[in-house]
Chains A and B, each alone.
Chain A
Amino acid sequence: MTAEQRFSELWTDYLEGDLDDAGVAELQALVAADESLRSRAADLLQTHRLLGFALQDSAAARESFLKSTLARVPLSEDAFVDSVLERVRPEPRPQSPSLSRWLRWLPARPLARRLLVAGAGVLALCVVAAAVFRQVAPTRPRPPEFFATLTRAADCVWDGCIRPRPGDRLAAGGLSLREGVAEITLASGVNLLVEAPATIELIDAASSALNAGRIVARVPPAAVGFSVDTPKAKIVDLGTEFGVSVEPGRETVVQVFAGTVVAELKGPDAPVGKNHRIVAGETVRIDASGAVELQKVTFSPERFLRTFSTPSVHEGEELIPFKPSEVSSLDVLAAPGPVTVDGDLSDWNLSGRFEARCSEPFAESYYVHGFMMYDRKYLYVAARVGDPMPMRNVIDPNTDPWSAWMGGSVQLRLSTDRAFGWPVEATKPSQRQGRASVQDTSGRIVHLTLWYFQPREQPCLEIRYGMNLDRGVVNPAGWRGAFRKAQDGKSYILECAIPWTLLGAGDDPPRAGDELGLCWTVNWSDASGKRWKGQLVEVKNPAYAARGKALTFMHAETWGKAIYR
């Protein structure tokens, strides 16, 4: 074969995403040795890119680009911030000259001054109350003004006197969500995703207050200026998506996913009028101790729940695939010999398996057969997944791996530490009132997401560690994966080998007799390959088999059992 022929083969595989590490090295060596070849390769790459651009260009694509660009544009850096803040800042209340004069005559001693002011305050309150009573009492109470709707709720348990259900309209007032996830849509178009436990106060269509818990706000351009009040800061949106959390100690964390927000700090020492801009990709912490500066912390996509993704039988009026768990354990078998990762399971011992189908009417098309094996070096995972739209995931592992599960995926959560026993007592740290436990942050608690990135025809793996899911790797060296679509186009086979070293157990992999935590989730997307359609969660602790008790990515005790044979 000539160098030219070899180059054409390697180059074509490279463009199609089929080139393995050895092929990349060979191609690199070829182009490094020949400057004209390097130039030609770059020419061809540019033509390939322009082909993609030209053939996907359309009026709709241009409009979409235009709209999304303009939605991100502040009209002018300072003028824009000022104009938004102007709209949301309450009017300053000028002090009455007569009151100022009167205050000057108060005793200088603090205690006497406080008593006098308190007494005067009580008197003033009585006068005001009498006046208000006279004016208000005769009239009928005004009906509440509804400006929000509980649009979706998953596994919600409410505290307090307001316990809304999906579709209920909401007026100003407090809501206390003990469990679950709720989506509230304001009349302004603002969408709030509230993650329990949370206490939120709806003020009006342009503002809310978060006293505890977590919310993610999506603010459309028309509602720019929407604000979230927390005990430590007021967060003002400039057209964006952002998350706010108020931890039990009242520390506030703000994370911006898109666009920009402005944080106005509160507290006696906070500099008046000083605003802090927080842009997409940034996370800041506002200390509960009353510190007046923001502290930048690591951006962690998993810190907030951004998508309404928990199991639910209905999504709007549309049924989605789902089923309650029926399987509590899976036998993980010793591999019978070398395993070739190629999507062909003929070299597997398939006798340890679980099978699960979604409830009707999805049972025929949405199902999973799951298999696991192991040896000293690798954990092997295989699945046959019934999927009417298989292997369409278009979520790029380079740019958005944390969202990849939504485009169709298989996820495994597992413990690789026999010291943790079963059930695994690990929980997302924010769910605990106290400090995180050793298990909560352990590198031997792992979450795997496996998907097939269709645009590059690339098997992908993301691994996240601990229950905070804030550390992880994407397509790490050493793992192998293969996806194979069935001939009828209605299912796919996934096969992969993951070194124990990537699962925190390189020195001490599981062995026969171990019973460790394990849970499977299969996610299906719609035809777009990026919009989540439904899921099936299996291998669960029977105590949590029913929907609504707890979420598997937050509570490891919900996981079922992997029995290593």
Chain B
Amino acid sequence: MLPTDDNLSSDIIRRARQGERAALEAIVRRYQEQVRAWVAAHCPPGGDVDEVAQRTFIAAFTRIAEFEEGTAFRAWLFAIARFQLLTETTRLRRLADYHTRYGRDLFSRELERRAQEPDETTAARLHYLRECLEAISEAGRQLIAWRYTDGLPLQEIAARSGRSVAAIKKQLWLLRQKLQQCIENKLATEGGVAV
């Protein structure tokens, strides 16, 4: 079942406006996964994902008096996240050596375009990704864990699995392709997130 998102109760909003720590904590707990995943999926290469996500919450809390009760809190929060992401993108564009390492506008234009799309798509992708990971082989899951959970260099993964670095690269390419296809299939057949 896909994650759902009921909007916050007016009581939490009221308590957050009064600066009640527990209310702020409840808001972060509720939305941190969605905000962090969305930023991770749209941040240009070299961006600091958790910094952007944190700035989103901080900006939301310092401006919470501006939130109109009765409107969707989640949409309001993601509007702030979009702005914070734009700020980070602008900062990176201004770094003198940024383009030499990532290539001018290689993907950032496409990511920027996607950042304007409904943010629920990212939540759906993350949800289906977790499901799709369950469906790949044990060996594939081990390789993914070495690469993404442990952050091992490819040389070390190659040494552990008794294969060449080139073979590991190829295997990673195939696994990412397979996961990508699995996510696309599920999005097509099961739909997006219910909000």
Main secondary structure of the interface of B (DSSP, over half): helix
Nearest CB in chain B to that of A47: its residue: B180
Cβ of B58 within 8 Å of any chain A Cβ, yes or no, is: yes
Cβ of A97 within 8 Å of any chain B Cβ, yes or no, is: no
27 A-B residue pairs with Cβ-Cβ distance under 8 Å, sorted by A, are: A12-B173, A13-B169, A24-B103, A28-B106, A41-B110, A42-B110, A44-B176, A44-B180, A46-B42, A49-B41, A49-B49, A50-B37, A50-B40, A50-B122, A51-B176, A54-B37, A56-B148, A62-B32, A65-B32, A65-B54, A73-B24, A73-B57, A73-B62, A74-B61, A398-B46, A399-B48, A474-B97
Q: How far is the CB of B56 from chain A (nearest CB, A)?
A: 9
- Render B25-68 as a binary contact track against A, CB cut-off 8 A, 1 for contact: 10011001100110011110010111101100110011011000
Cβ of A53 within 8 Å of any chain B Cβ, yes or no, is: yes
Which residues of the other chain, A, contact B95 by a CB distance below 8 angstroms?
Answer: 398
List residues of B whose CB falls within 8 A of some A CB.
17-19, 21, 24-25, 28-29, 32-33, 36-37, 40-43, 46, 48-51, 53-54, 57-58, 61-62, 64-65, 92, 95-98, 100-104, 106-107, 110-111, 114, 122, 125-126, 129-130, 133, 144-145, 148-149, 151, 153-155, 169-170, 172-173, 176-177, 179-180, 183-184
Query: Looking at the complex, which one of B29, B106, B179 makes contact with A31 (CB distance below 8 Å)?
Result: B106
Q: How far, in angstroms, from A72 to B41 measured CA to CA in the complex?
A: 24
Query: Looking at the complex, which one of B62, B125, B130, B149 makes contact with A56 (CB distance below 8 Å)?
Result: B149
* 8 additional A-B residue pairs with CB within 8 Å, beyond A12-B173, A13-B169: A16-B169, A31-B107, A50-B37, A52-B40, A70-B25, A398-B92, A454-B153, A457-B153
Whether A66 and B126, one on each chain, are in contact in the complex, defined by CB atoms closer than 8 angstroms, is no
Q: How far, in angstroms, from A47 to B153 measured CA to CA in the complex?
A: 19
Q: How far, in angstroms, from A476 to B125 measured CA to CA in the complex?
A: 37
Q: How far, in angstroms, from A34 to B41 measured CA to CA in the complex?
A: 22
Cβ of A120 within 8 Å of any chain B Cβ, yes or no, is: no
Nearest CB in chain B to that of A473: its residue: B97
Whether A57 and B33, one on each chain, are in contact in the complex, defined by CB atoms closer than 8 angstroms, is yes
Give me the 7 closest cross-chain CB pairs, A-B, nearest first.
A75-B19, A55-B148, A24-B103, A42-B110, A46-B41, A55-B149, A398-B46
Number of chain A interface residues as a range: 35 or more
CB within 8 Å of B: which A31-45 residues: 31, 38-39, 41-45
- Render A1-34 as a binary contact track against B, CB cut-off 8 A, 1 for contact: 0000000110111001000010011011001000
Q: How far, in angstroms, from A474 to B151 measured CA to CA in the complex?
A: 24
Whether A45 and B28, one on each chain, are in contact in the complex, defined by CB atoms closer than 8 angstroms, is no
Query: Looking at the complex, which one of A24, A28, A62, A68 makes contact with B54 (CB distance below 8 Å)?
Result: A68
Which residues of the other chain, B, contact A57 by a CB distance below 8 angstroms?
Answer: 33
Whether B169 and A66, one on each chain, are in contact in the complex, defined by CB atoms closer than 8 angstroms, is no
Answer whether A69 and B57 are a contact pair too, CB < 8 Å, given A24-B103, A52-B40, A76-B19.
yes
Whether B151 and A454, one on each chain, are in contact in the complex, defined by CB atoms closer than 8 angstroms, is yes
Nearest CB in chain B to that of A80: its residue: B19
Whether A62 and B40, one on each chain, are in contact in the complex, defined by CB atoms closer than 8 angstroms, is no
Cβ of A77 within 8 Å of any chain B Cβ, yes or no, is: yes
Whether A47 and B151, one on each chain, are in contact in the complex, defined by CB atoms closer than 8 angstroms, is no
Query: Looking at the complex, which one of B49, B97, B149 makes contact with A476 (CB distance below 8 Å)?
Result: B97
Whether A66 and B176, one on each chain, are in contact in the complex, defined by CB atoms closer than 8 angstroms, is no
Answer whether A50 and B33 are a contact pair too, CB < 8 Å, given A42-B107, A55-B145.
no
Cβ of A300 within 8 Å of any chain B Cβ, yes or no, is: no
Of B46, B50, B151, the most chain A CB neighbours within 10 A belong to B151
Which residues of the other chain, B, contact A60 by a CB distance below 8 angstroms?
Answer: none
Which residues of the other chain, B, contact A454 by a CB distance below 8 angstroms?
Answer: 151, 153
Whether A485 and B169, one on each chain, are in contact in the complex, defined by CB atoms closer than 8 angstroms, is no
Whether A76 and B106, one on each chain, are in contact in the complex, defined by CB atoms closer than 8 angstroms, is no
Whether B110 and A66, one on each chain, are in contact in the complex, defined by CB atoms closer than 8 angstroms, is no
